[in-house]
Amino acid sequence: MRSWLAFVASTLLFTAGCSEAQNKTAGSQPSVGRETAIATRGLDPALMAEVRKRADALPRLQAVLVARHGETLAEYRLRGPALDQPVNIKSASKSVLSALVGIAIGRDLLDGPEQKIAPLLRADIPQGADPRIEQIEIGHLLSMQAGLGRTSGPNYGAWVASPNWVRYALSRPFAAEPGGEMLYSTGSSHLLSAILTRTSGRSTHALAQEWLAEPLGIDLPTWPRDPQGIYFGGNDMLMSPRALLRFGELYRQDGVWQGRRILPEGWVAQSWRPRTTSPWSGNPYGYGWFSQRSGGHDVHFAWGYGGQMLFIVPALDLTVVMISDPSPHPRAESHVPALAQLLATGIIPAAERGGTRPTA
């Protein structure tokens, strides 16, 4: 397995709500729906007791929730907000935004991932723009392959201080060809929020409320907006740990919740299919989701800055949420790798071994 040093370097480079991936087995590519499901049920109580002890020892970790086969089997509120209290999920918001784009496509508000964005955002494209801007597709924004210069990392502050976030993101000089290398940029996600707003005539929050919050039975408060009133795309969404777990369960069940299809058929597989690779960690990235091998299994995950994690392990019918304090901390560089280890060497083995009763 590759050293965690590459991963740690990536976390130090990202700031102000950006997220990156974790490590993976060298040369491996997570698949979608190819692993044989593990037949065990439940979680091994002894192993989960050790997970609880290890989680308690991580000072930034606030909550761990584990569901298997659709049943919540572990809820550890270690410190911080209550499990029903909405918290800032940072860049895990990108996975939620991807769901909204998929639903918009399913409802024919958008044509599909191949639809060009220029006609949808024409009013904010600068005069004399690089002609390559006409080649950018919705799918490129979802997979961070727009080619436009990044608004994340060292460029984040200037972007959010600008008077028009959409125009600023579209005016960035090209750093790669559309559809080429991964350029992680929250500006690309924000363009998706603008597209949803302009094509539907409704705010991104209103769409999220109708399309996700209401059918899932979760609370989804308003979150920050840009100077033009467009809800921040890809950062600062507010969801409680329990709500985030329910969102993860929606994906684990291929977009179906309590017998009702919420996401278009096939959207989960499209979202998890690797389309590019993180230049920092080497992890595959799809439509708002990272993937890796963990504990011998394919894992698809959303990651928000500071350790807001949503892991899905399809072969184990396992969904895991970890919520952390995102504020600066002297041991920040070791926190997210510790969360990955907790999953790989604690929770996954507990599911592999199984159990006969829920853990306390």
188 within some domain: yes
pLDDT in single tens digits along all 360 residues of the chain: 333 334 333 333 332 333 333 333 223 455 555 688 899 999 999 999 999 999 999 999 999 999 999 999 999 999 999 999 999 999 999 999 999 999 999 999 999 999 999 999 999 999 999 999 999 999 999 999 999 999 999 999 999 999 999 999 999 999 999 999 999 999 999 999 999 999 999 999 999 999 999 999 999 999 999 999 999 999 999 999 999 999 999 999 999 999 999 999 999 999 999 999 988 778 899 999 999 999 999 999 999 999 999 999 999 999 999 999 998 766 666 899 999 999 999 999 999 999 865 444
The number of folded domains in the chain is 1
Q: Can you say whether the dihedral through the CA atoms of 265, 266, 271, 272 is positive or negative?
A: positive
- For residue 337, the surrounding DSSP H or E stretch is helix 332-342
360 within some domain: no
298 within some domain: yes
Residue 268's domain comprises 4-353
314 within some domain: yes
CATH of the domain at 253: 3.40.710.10
What confidence score (pLDDT) does residue 281 get?
73
- In a 13 Å sphere around the CA of 157, the CA atoms on its Cβ side amount to 2
What confidence score (pLDDT) does residue 334 get?
83
Give the whole-angstrom CA distance, residue 288 versus residue 299: 14
Q: Kind of pairing, strands 71-77 and 238-239?
A: unpaired
62 within some domain: yes
What confidence score (pLDDT) does residue 331 get?
60
| Per-residue tokens: 291 | 């993937």
- Residue identified by tokens 């009133």 is 229
Long-range contacts made by residues 354-357, C-beta under 8 angstroms, separation at least 24? Answer: 354/40, 354/41, 354/42, 354/43, 354/44, 355/41, 355/42, 355/43, 355/44, 355/45, 355/48, 356/42, 357/42, 357/45
- Residue identified by tokens 């990392």 is 153
Mention every residue, 6+ apart, whose C-beta is less than 8 A from residue 6.
Answer: 23, 280, 281, 282
CA-nearest of 51, 2, 39 to 24 is 2
| Per-residue tokens: 282 | 């080497």
58 within some domain: yes
What confidence score (pLDDT) does residue 329 get?
66
**Radius of gyration, alpha carbons of the chain:** 19
123 within some domain: yes
257 within some domain: yes
